[in-house]
Structure 1
Amino acid sequence: MAPPRPRSRPTTRAMRARAAASSDRIPPDVLFDVLLRLPARDLCRLRAVSRSWRALASDPLFVAAHAARHGGPLFLAKFRDDKTSVYAVDLSGDVVKRVAAGAGGGPYHRLLCTRLDLGCLATDWNRCSVLDPATGAVHVLPERPAEEHANCVNLSNPYTFFALGRVAATGEHKVLRMFNRLGFHNGGQQIFEVFTINGGTDHARWRGRQGPGLFIDECSGVVVDGVVYFLTSRVYEGAHCGIRPDYIVSFDLGREEWMRDLRGPISSNAGYAKVSLYTRRQLALAELKGSLVLADHYHQPFTMDLWFLSDFRSGLWVKQYHIRIESLNLRSADEYHEYHLKPLLVLDDGRLVLYLAPTGRLFICDPGTSIFIQLDMRRLDSVGVYTGNLLNSEEGERV
């Protein structure tokens, strides 16, 4: 008599089927409580166990309860060792979810530094995609310019800037695109257009808009509450131009028009002699706690002041942070300016998350002690803050 044949190891499908059968015997309230304790990373995988688990983990009540219980910040990141994916990572550097970037993936696509429930990947030569990390949907924006700009833009060699923001009044996400014509300070021009994500047939194209009347520094753009803010261009460097280095222009994505110009805190709080010594090189814009922030980088000594815009109409700014940078061991003023720290987030305990782009590293800084702690994370290519919920994948493709 032949010996009994050894039982084969259960396949993945068999294991899922057995887990699904046992899951149906778990009372719903018990299953709710158990799944509620798991991080989003595990829930995204466990949704494949059974339809009942997927339905529960996608229920709006469960999603809201899970978000309240697991309230830590998440970041969207592209890593230098993976050019085709976008990752949702937590403050510990752990990967919560990996999303294929599709047409938006590539060595030259970078994540815009947004603070939204969507991500935006773009290049300098007119490639832009909007990504929903919850559903994995990717919306590739058209490259063709607005009809009114068809004869103005040379698409064979474009230099573009993109900004993605959300209009609170309508919930729409809009993208601002700027074609930065080479040699614009010698008679060239900066051309602006707007695109609405999922705005319907009437909005499925770029719409041309007027410029602000001043040349802007496209690399300084930051979005706060549906408004895109820019510092003016470095072509105005020097007091003889009459344009202060902290002069700010802004574009309202909701109304799709430029707002009145804004004086920065340096011009508002310092005399002319001191302002004339400033350069745009030491200034940068950011968004923190829902406010526009001007970061002022000094090099004697190495420090960074963060000014928060308290009231747009009155132009009132308040300095909330003064941080010493000595512990980063930057060797010179030139290196300091090259290694600008980008403020990303204020944590609940008041500490700051900052990005040092040339090194691809994130740091947490205690502003009271100016002590920096480097996060244990793979080298970053680009990064933004994610405000959505990765479990909201049953709402359909929003992009």
Structure 2
Amino acid sequence: MSTVSLPYHVVFDILLRTPVKSVCRSRCVSKAWRDLIRSPVFAAAHKSRHGPLLVDAGSFHEEEPAGGRDLRLMDMDGSVVRVIRGAGGFGMMSNTSLDDLICVNGASCDGINVVDPATGEVLLTCPQVDIVEEHDKFPRVAMRYYVNFGIGRAVPSNQYKLVRLVAMLF
């Protein structure tokens, strides 16, 4: 029995019409399919055909709550499309326009995670700010702090960079 390969444009069109969860599973079919699915052109085309996703950044593992929080991506009907284990936190802090990445903050992720919802990959983890030293200097003062940050990509290295600004209020 001989195998027949489908033309690239046919596979592209079929995968465009396929739900996200099935497309993610299809990465294992072959290296050609994996490369197609990971390409920015396909990701943009697939995103334009399908509706927006909602993010629930603070769901616990159902089977092991101590294992951290999950990041759940849901469609507009409330159905869970994808669960990214352990990438969640106390809340989504920023949805950047840079490659549609999501930044999540919380103690369970020990700082800030930058997550690519299309692949489920945690691209960058920025450790939690240690504010204990400042609190030791002023033990009788109640401390509050605000965190703001921005994300970008360094041109020379093509790596993601996260800038975090912490303002402590005494």
TM-score using structure 1 length: 0.31
Whether 1:73 and 2:57 are equivalent positions in the alignment is no
Whether 1:59 and 2:47 are equivalent positions in the alignment is no
In 2, the alpha carbon distance for the partners of 1:50 and 1:128 equals 36
Instruction: Give the structure 2 partner of residue 179 of structure 1.
Output: 168
Q: 1:143 to 1:34 in 2, by over 3 A?
A: same
Contact 1:120 1:164 in 2 (8 A): no
Deviation, structure 1 residue 35: 0.6
Q: 1:130 to 1:158 in 2, by over 3 A?
A: farther
In 2, the alpha carbon distance for the partners of 1:122 and 1:95 equals 21
- How large is the Cα RMSD of the aligned pairs? 3.5
Q: Secondary structure at the match of 2:28?
A: coil
Deviation, structure 1 residue 27: 1.7
Equivalent position amino acid for 2:127 in 1:
L
Deviation, structure 1 residue 43: 1.0
Q: 1:63 to 1:88 in 2, by over 3 A?
A: same
Instruction: Give the structure 2 partner of residue 29 of structure 1.
Output: 9
In 2, the alpha carbon distance for the partners of 1:172 and 1:140 equals 9
Between the two proteins, the alignment pairs up a number of residues equal to 146
Q: Secondary structure at the match of 2:42?
A: helix
Q: Secondary structure at the match of 2:136?
A: coil
Whether 1:94 and 2:43 are equivalent positions in the alignment is no
Instruction: Give the structure 1 partner of residue 64 of structure 2.
Output: none
- When Rg is computed on C-alpha atoms for both structures, the one with the higher figure is 1
Deviation, structure 1 residue 139: 0.3
Deviation, structure 1 residue 54: 0.6
Q: 1:101 to 1:177 in 2, by over 3 A?
A: farther
Contact 1:101 1:138 in 2 (8 A): no
CA deviations over 1:22-63 (Å, ceiling 9, x no partner): 5x6222111111011112222111112221111111122222
Contact 1:47 1:54 in 2 (8 A): yes
Q: Secondary structure at the match of 1:130?
A: strand
CA deviations over 1:56-102 (Å, ceiling 9, x no partner): 111222222212222x2222213545352111222111222221225
Instruction: Give the structure 1 partner of residue 129 of structure 2.
Output: 143
Contact 1:130 1:140 in 2 (8 A): yes
In 2, the alpha carbon distance for the partners of 1:138 and 1:87 equals 18
Higher helix proportion: 2
TM-score using structure 2 length: 0.66
Find the partner of 1:130 among 107, 110, 113.
Answer: 113
In 1, the alpha carbon distance for the partners of 2:78 and 2:133 equals 47
Q: 1:111 to 1:43 in 2, by over 3 A?
A: same
In 1, the alpha carbon distance for the partners of 2:106 and 2:148 equals 9
Q: 1:100 to 1:179 in 2, by over 3 A?
A: farther
Deviation, structure 1 residue 142: 4.5
Q: Secondary structure at the match of 1:42?
A: helix
Pairing of 1:1-399 with structure 2 (within 5 A): 25-70=5-50, 72-82=51-61, 83-101=68-86, 109-116=89-96, 117-123=101-107, 127-133=110-116, 134=119, 135-144=121-130, 152-154=134-136, 159-166=144-151, 173-180=162-169, 189=170
Q: 1:121 to 1:91 in 2, by over 3 A?
A: same
Structure 2 spans left out of the alignment, 5+ residues: 62-67
Contact 2:75 2:81 in 1 (8 A): yes
Deviation, structure 1 residue 172: 5.5
CA deviations over 1:336-368 (Å, ceiling 9, x no partner): xxxxxxxxxxxxxxxxxxxxxxxxxxxxxxxxx
Q: 1:85 to 1:152 in 2, by over 3 A?
A: closer
Percent identity over the alignment is: 23
